[in-house]
Amino acid sequence: MHDDRSLVEARLRRVLDERLRPAVYPESVPLRVAVWHAPGEPVPVAEGLAAEPEPIEVGARWGAPWGTSWFRVTGTVPEAWAGRTVEALLDLGFDENMPGFQCEGLVYRPDGTPVKGLNPRNQWVRIGAPVDGGEEVRLHVEAASNPVILDYHPFRPTRLGDKDTAGHEPQYTLTRMDLAVFDETVWRLVLDLEVLGELMAELPEDSARRHDILRAVDRALDLVDLQDVNGTAERAGAALAGVLAARAVPSAHRISAVGHAHIDSAWLWPLRETVRKVARTTANMTALIEDEPEFVFAMSQAQQWAWVKEHRPEVWARVRKAVAEGRFVPAGGMWVESDTNMPGSEAMARQFVHGKRFFLDEFGIENEEAWLPDTFGFAAGLPQIIRAAGSKWLLTQKISWSRTNSFPHHTFHWEGIDGTRIFTHFPPVDTYNCSMRGGEIAHAARNFKEKGRARHSLAPTGWGDGGGGTTREMVAKAARLRDLEGSATVAWETPRAFFEKAEAEYPEPPVWVGELYLELHRATLTSQARTKQGNRRSEHLLREAELWAATAAVRTGFPYPYGELDRIWKTVLLHQFHDILPGSSIAWVHREARATYERVAAELTGIIEAAQGALAGEGATPLVFNAAPHARAGVPAGGAAAARTTGGTTLSPRPDGGYVLDNGRLRVGIDARGLVVSVHDAATDRETVAPGRAANLLQLHPDFPNMWDAWDVDEFYRNTVTDLTEADSVTAAGDGASVRVVRSFGASRVTQVLSLPPGERRLVIDTEVDWHETEKFLKLAFPLDLHAERYASETQFGHVHRPTHTNTSWEAAKFEACNHRFVHLEEPGWGVALVNDSTYGHDVTRTVRTDGDRGTTTTVRASLLRAPRFPDPETDQGVHRFRHALIPGAAIADAVREGWRINLPERRVTGAREVAPLVTVDDDAVVVTAVKLADDGSGDVVVRFHEAHGGRARATLTAGFEVGGVTATDLLERPAAGSPAPERDGNRITVRLRPFELMTLRLTRR
């Protein structure tokens, strides 16, 4: 037989495009339209409904950037349409290729009841099925004219990302406002042909099934009268019944589809717009649930649920009903889908505390899965945190974006730094916006790497980011794919149902140990430095506020600020969302974040000062409050006392220019260029800086990645580097014990102060950069005379080791990595730590010197600033301040201690009395990360701590109050299942910890 496949396939495409799809709505009449443009920010629904609109015609331009326009559409259903299904088609000027990235609308009835969202792939509103004819139609549309930031030519700088710079030019053209007859028979035929055509294209060319489908499609097209599609669609559909009824083979891959709409809590739109995106999507999904009995929708991010509850109570009522029916499922158990690389230990824990508690309080639902499809890699401390929150599963998809190495598993156990394992799944469909296209389903089955051992995968299905979620077309396609020969099978299931099946069929999956590093988006560790500094400062201020308020509450009756701390924590957690903290949002988002962090700092500082005042009392004695988890200068951890000073620092000139700083423990040589050419450790008689090299070296690279400007730094940036060695001035600072260095380069200026605190083994470097570069990357380099095959970077509740070599492509791909407060490098017996107060990105490289001693130079570089132009064309412009400290001779214990020190500076207060700590621990390896009162208001004291050095620990925790009982708890302060009762002798509690083990104790007070 002659091969006519291409002929039939081309025929199918044209008939669908030009005849069948247009025939879904065979008759239409125009609606009358009027519009009112809200001045400024969005207005309450009642105000929008009450406003008096002006007439507007289809074809007119509307919608200034970030504006809100209220459309009123009215009309009458023709009497001749009686008995038929009628829908309103409301096209605000959509581009169907951009669901979620342009204008959107929410439809209301005149009484303010929300109906559903309007989106590029979801433009219809059901009027009646059937109608009587003659009905009066009146609908209101709250339309958001969000500008298109990520356009067909992506990553081009635009001023549209901030309402202050976006201008007022209308963005959209009103395209269609009609009442139309909906022909469900034609609609079903279209879906039959789409499913079969898409399946056919994925089957082998020589397969019998492909040819069976081809012949059936050809017959069906023969039966369609192209001049009377609506009259002949039913008979054409009947010709397809046989191939649609053929059942899947028993070995077919099994896909659990879950309705989904990944909504970034801020990205190419501000937070306030996300509130409305969520309302539109939840209105859509609750409506779809009512129409489709098998459909299940899952939504993560408790913050987004809280927004619906607060801002759209009518939608919230529908959501609650659907949740009670088990059809609208809270997922993930986190406050937002946060970044997981940069949030600190306590912040990462509180993401789960606040997320899970919201779903428990509102619905009595306990989430057992972490749901993070779009997060940019996963820190190695996360498995333990997930377990400590009472969860046991993880879903993500983003690792499939890695550019160098293909991850070897789709279902596996992920093992964290403490040995905790989490059952983890990466959907092989490779998207969290699955639309049930045949190509996606076939890709999931082909791509699944566990074949022969497992058969289940998950497909998050629906348009995200304001695209409206799952559509009725996706549900209809899934129904056809439920059990179809040649395809994977598809069934709507909750995340829990999927994980239970997947875990049961694959009880011993492979194990991946350590971080899940995304080989992409590495620059998110540096972009938008002020946002990252705001986060770091807020995390440590929250620690102080809880510590001092709890101490004051127990000691003096100080009113513990439960409500304030809860609200501030949620604000900080929101800003850890994976496009805010990583610096990949528009200018508006980061401008608001800076203002928010300033307010948070002011409020927390007020709480801290009030609590410290209550503890110290009225008096003139100088006291130092130490919020760090280690004693320093005679002040106990978590207490206040008079500080001791030891020794001094001398400053002397070098013969060839520059200065020498010496405090008896370190001698630091700073040359005439302001570069550190020597850091001599007196205790070991060891030089820190590599021979012939200089530290404190600022290096400037060009930074123009191939795409994803704010997200990416491509490895070729290293090919070109400018060492900033020229100094405007190198002078003794005013205190006589530090050196001030000023440099100019390009349009920017750097001022550094290098100091050597008395009695301390640390060189402190304060850097102020007035940054006005474009598409540049600024690094601070420390070439060390050190041979190390691996180094340690702090992560949540411990540290992770990474190699310094590039033996394989996996190591080579980690050319930019994340640390929290420290990076530590060590050869047996001697090490160096670099600690920081606000930076995250870094790189470590090593070379072997070809002359002299042929030793190894290991260089650690802190990433300071970038200057990408998309999506914020003014990224990081202005003044920034950083603090780093170099600690020669440092063991990992020193790195841990100094990392806390630089982030929690002493607070000096005058008062009447010293303050004993509320809790003490007798082993510095056991680091207390939180001391607070229990969230339930009981007055119990909660203490969270972990082993921080990577070894075993046995420690005694002593309470500075009368303890009535002690309970080991999970992160939500509930008794931890399976945990033995801690040993207690009065107020002394003995704990034994594995390497990096996390523990939370709840102490009742007598």
Active site residue 374: yes
Q: Are 492 and 405 in contact (CB under 8 A)?
A: no
Please, is 8 exposed, middle or buried when counting C-beta atoms within 10 Å of its C-beta (0-12, 13-18, 19+)? middle
The terminus-to-terminus CA distance of the chain in angstroms comes to 91
- HEC-encoded secondary structure of 252-291: CCEEEEEECCCCCCCCCCCHHHHHHHHHHHHHHHHHHHHH
**CA pair distance 83, 150, nearest whole angstrom:** 44
Supply 327's token pair: 């059809």
* DSSP state string for 543-603: HHHHHHHHHHHHHH-----HHHHHHHHHHHHHTTBTTTTTT-S-HHHHHHHHHHHHHHHHH
Q: What is the DSSP letter of 833?
A: E
Q: What is the token pair recorded at 218?
A: 């050809």
How does strand 666-670 pair with strand 659-662? antiparallel
How far apart are the C-alpha atoms of 185 and 197, rounded to whole Å? Answer: 18
Helix, coil or strand: residue 13: helix
The answer to whether 142 touches 106, Cβ cutoff 8 Å, is yes
Q: How far apart are CA 360 and CA 369, in angstroms?
A: 14
Tokens of 967: 């309970």
* Distance (Å, whole) CA 590 – CA 580: 7
Q: Which two tokens stand for residue 181?
A: 């007859």
Q: Which amino acid would we find at residue 830?
A: W
227: phi then psi, degrees, rounded to nearest 5: -95, -5
| 286 in Cβ contact with 279 (< 8 Å) | no
Spatial separation of the C-alpha atoms in residues 644 and 398, rounded to whole Å: 51
- Phi, psi angles (nearest 5°) of residue 291: -90, -25
Catalytic-labelled residue, pool 162, 339, 374, 579: 374
Which pair of tokens denotes residue 725?
């060695």
Q: What's the one-letter identity of residue 946?
A: H
Three-class DSSP category at 612:
helix
- CA 840 centroid distance within chain: 15
Q: What region does 852 belong to: left with phi over 0, alpha with psi -120 to 50, or beta?
A: left
DSSP codes of every residue in 172-239: EE--EEEEEE--HHHHHHHHHHHHHHHHHHHS-TT-HHHHHHHHHHHHHHHH--TT-HHHHHHHHHHT
3-state secondary structure of 383: helix
User: Please, what's the b/e burial string for 379-410 (b: 16 or more CB within 10 A of its CB; e: otherwise)?
Assistant: bbbbbbbbbbbbbbbbbbbbbbebeeeebebb
* C-alpha separations of 893 from 759, 817, 900 in Å: 18, 21, 11
Are 883 and 834 in contact by the 8 Å Cβ rule? The answer is no
For residues 241 and 251, give the distance between their C-alpha atoms in angstroms, rounded to a whole number. Answer: 23
Q: Is 973 left (phi over 0), alpha (psi -120 to 50) or beta?
A: left
Nearest CA to 201 out of 485, 438, 440, 473 is that of 438
Q: Is the dihedral of CA 808, 814, 820, 825 positive or negative?
A: positive
Residues with catalytic roles? 374
